Structures are given as structure tokens and as C-alpha cells.
Amino acid sequence: MNIVKDGHPFIFAFAIITFAVGYWGSLIWAVVPAVLMLFFIYFFRNPNRPTQSDDSIIYSPADGTVMAIEDFYDEEYLNEDAIKVTIFLSVFNVHVNRSPVNGEIKYQRYTCGQFVPAYKKSASFENERHAIGVQNDKMRVLVIQVAGLLARRIVSWVTLGHNLKQGECYGMIKFGSSTELVLPKNVEILVKKGDSVVGGVSLIGRVH
């Protein structure tokens, strides 16, 4: 179990506050910042998850619950009829995003926006979002990080030209969000609405 470096400032800050309140104030009141410190440790956790590489399958890019599976025409990257799988992440889920496939990042776009609750359908269009398009010999996929009501920053650790491995961590969204996975129509979807998925472990689809 690792802790994402973006969480270190939160954890250290509340550790100092806990010590200061407990030392110069009251041990009872020190419980509040101590609980917040433990929450940030929990939220920014990054479990070690070995992912078996297989170019015929697509792994989940995030932990959470499948909110929707829909057909639509993707004009952002695939430029063809596609399937979108939307995964909602609560504050209790691991928030690190993982690459669903092996491939090179051929497309990247960050869009400023609002902070509509991530479970609402309008969040896909109105909220802050960060999209990467990954391509390999078999397909192209688009993964979109969408900020939620509490999320105030999308974090990305990659850029154009970066070669991602399946299950490799490439970013996260702080404090509640959703992740969208846009796939070509030749992918057989292996999940349904309401399913719980685990990033880098659960199978979302299989290439025909």
C-alpha cells in the first residue's frame, strides 16, 4: 500500500495540527484533526495491484460503481460510433486512475468547468475534465476524468507521447468524481449498470 504524493501536504498538515492541539490544548479536541489525518491517508491510498498484460481485454480505469453504459458517436477522439462506460467514485473508493490498455497517449485535453455532482449526467459536459486518448495496434480508447461536487483538482502524471502499460497509474481526482471510458463498437462489454469495479483488476470489455 502506497500513499499518493499529492496527499502528503494534507496528511502532514493535519499531523502537525493534531500534535499542536494535543500538546498545547486538549487531547479531546485533538481527535478531530487526527480523524481528518487518517481520512486523508485512507483517501490517498494507492494499493499495489499487479495487472496481467493482455491486449485483447480492457481493464477498469477506476474503482467505483458502473453508473451507465451507452452508445453514442464520439467526436472527441475516436470519431466513430462508440460505447461509453461511466464509473462513479465515492469518497471511499481508491481515487487513482489506471490505464485500461497498453498504448501510447496520442491525445490529451484539459477542460475547465463547474463542479456538478459527479453522479449527474450533466457532469460529463459541465464539469472540469481531463481526457487522454490511448492507442495501440488493436484499438484506440478515450479515458476521461470528470471532477465532482467536492473535487477541485484533477491530477495528471502523464503527457502526450507517454507509453502506458495496462494498470499503470496515470492520475487521480481529488475528493469524489467519475471516470468515463469510451471504447470502439467492436468491444464486448463485460459489465452492467450497478456493478462494482476495481481499477486495474476488473474486466470492462474484450476485443472481438
Q: Which amino acids are annotated catalytic?
A: 177
Burial degree of 69 (CB within 10 A; 0-12, 13-18, 19+)? middle
Burial degree of 79 (CB within 10 A; 0-12, 13-18, 19+)? exposed
CB 169 within 8 A of CB 66: no
